[in-house]
Amino acid sequence: MKELVEAIAKALVDNPDQVVVRAVEGEQVTVLELRVHPSDLGKVIGRQGRTAKSIRTILGAAGMKLKKRLTLEILE
Amino acid sequence: MLQPFVQDGKIDRVALTAELRRFLDLLLGSARFELAYEICLRDSVAAEDAVESPEIEVVFRGRDQDVLLERNAELLQALEYIALRWLRLDPHFYDHVRFDSGGYRALRIEELKLSARVAAERVRETRQPFRFNPMSSRERRIIHLVLKEQPGVRTASEGVGEQRQVIVYPAGKN
């Protein structure tokens, strides 16, 4: 799922080369840390947080399939 | 905003469909959803009573169809929204692309049309405003469209973000 989050973020931002996703693996949880260029933060969060919420919804459903809790942290 | 898939005010269907496939294949491959999809293209000129006329429709089928439709199709709508952002479409074009599964959208539109008519009737009878539950801009638009020709009522949207809702007022009353 790291690749998917990275691809989504790269598609949304103006500085795709500045997108970094790091997966921190726990036993039952994987935290996906997303870093983008500061000027692109709004693009990955979206109006009223809708983009971030949609990505989290996708991760939530994918986590059910992969039997692992997937959490997205957007780092500022 | 740069819109790579819009030219002369029209969607470049071939290029957009190819990019949509790239997104969907990556998504289904990564998340292992047991879903297949079909992209249907149609003329955007639709029947007169149609409130939505998407020219590009992605229809999902498969064992995980139910997962898409849980909680008012939360996942289906999230996928659609991310796809629209991925494609860098201007919001003006959002209703040209639609994601669906198991006929959910058509059913939902019928439900909204019916709710709108019932609400209008109630407002005409009681002369009191009626407040719908918060809904997406796409769904609010349907309510506005259905009620714009109805006598004795007018509609407005109020609230911010996910709390934005349609209110039906008796005509001539604020």
Binary contact (A62, B79; C-beta < 8 A): no
Q: Parallel, antiparallel, or unpaired: how do β-strands A69-75 and A29-35 relate?
A: parallel
Residue B79's pLDDT is what? 97
Taking the Cβ of residue A50 and every Cβ of chain B, the question of whether any pair is shorter than 8 Å is answered with: yes
**Roughly what angle, to the nearest 10 degrees, separates helices A2-12 and B13-31?**
150
Binary contact (A58, B64; C-beta < 8 A): no
pLDDT at A56 over 60: yes
User: Nearest to residue A32, comparing CAs of A49, A62, B59?
Assistant: A62
Per-residue pLDDT of chain B (174 residues; tens, 9 = 90+): 567 888 888 888 999 999 999 999 999 999 989 999 999 998 765 554 567 778 999 999 999 999 999 998 999 999 999 999 999 998 888 889 999 999 999 899 999 999 999 999 999 999 999 999 999 888 999 999 999 989 999 999 999 888 899 999 999 755
d(CA A54, CA B64): 18
Q: Where are the beta strands (DSSP E) in chain A?
A: 20-25, 29-35, 69-75
Binary contact (B30, A4; C-beta < 8 A): yes
Please name the helix (run of DSSP H) or strand (run of DSSP E) that holds residue B60, with its range, or none.
Answer: strand B56-61
Do the domains spanning B6-102 and B112-170 agree at the CATH topology level? no
Q: What is the ipTM of this complex?
A: 0.94
Q: Which residue of B has its CA nearest to A62?
A: B31
CATH of the domain spanning B112-170? 3.30.1370.50
Instruction: Give how far B93 is from chain A: nearest CA, Å.
Output: 17
Chain position carrying tokens 């909204």: B112
Number of Cβ pairs < 8 A linking chain A and chain B: 62
Domain residue spans in chain B? 6-102, 112-170
Q: Which residue of A has its CA nearest to B74?
A: A57
Residue B81 with chain A: CB contacts under 8 Å? 50-51, 54
pTM of the complete model: 0.88
Write the Ramachandran bin of B127: left for phi over 0, alpha for psi from -120 to 50, otherwise beta.
left
For residues A49-76, average pLDDT = 93
* Closest residue to A48, CB basis, from B27, B67, B162: B162
**Per-residue confidence at A47, pLDDT binned at 50, 70, 90?**
confident
Residue B20 with chain A: CB contacts under 8 Å? none
Residue B33 with chain A: CB contacts under 8 Å? 61-62, 65
CATH fold of B6-102, please? GMP Synthetase; Chain A, domain 3 (3.30.300)
